[in-house]
Structure 1
Amino acid sequence: MKFPRRRRDPVEVNLTPLIDVVFLLLIFFMVSTTFETRQALELELPESESGQAMEAAPVTVVVTGEGDYRLGERVHTAGTLGDALAAEAEQAREHGLVIEADGRAAHAAVVRVLDRAAGLEIRRVRIATAAAATTQAETP
């Protein structure tokens, strides 16, 4: 006895719901992710009339008005600054070190950074300043 063969429908996978879910997940992660570049510190940089524009250096030490030090994303005290700077010394020797000191910071705090840099043989040290505001008197 010969049985008739059933005709099978071709198997299809509908990708439309899968694509919808992927796009919804992509939108969810894009909206819920925070993009944090660098925390802003309220610094009053000293003004300089003879300052020159420079490229950003990979090693930057920030001296706050309270006398704290910030290297990268970590806050350091005077005691831990030397070890933290020693970890970045090779890169600082190659590309230079930038010191961003608040105008209200004590002179001793800036000298401490310069002293640690000299002890690690970092020779290219720059101090960040703000451009001086030039005011011209109006003539009658």
Structure 2
Amino acid sequence: MTPMIDIVFLLLIFFMTVSQVSEANKVRLELPKLEGEEELKPATITINVDAEEKIIVTGLTLELAELISLVSAELQRVGDDPSRVNVVIRADRNGKSGPVNRIVSALGRMQI
């Protein structure tokens, strides 16, 4: 029973210490902004692939090359940082996997 009490006290001390550290990181600061600085919001692109293998983005039917151009433009808009571009691929359950694989390969070459 004594080892169990020791473990409970160690856990209690651990969580008390961690809570103090996390409170220290919650300091509200008003950081300076540069004039003309604009905030780059992450881009989210939803790509739909229907059963007829059509690629649809925001209601427009695109070819793979056009899709790559669109993603490249969004990538440039967010400062060429692939981690700031979120891509969601939605495919029809009755469709083939070929178009999805081609899209994933193209995005992989762009490091997205």
Larger C-alpha radius of gyration, 1 or 2? 1
Which is helix-richer, 1 or 2?
2
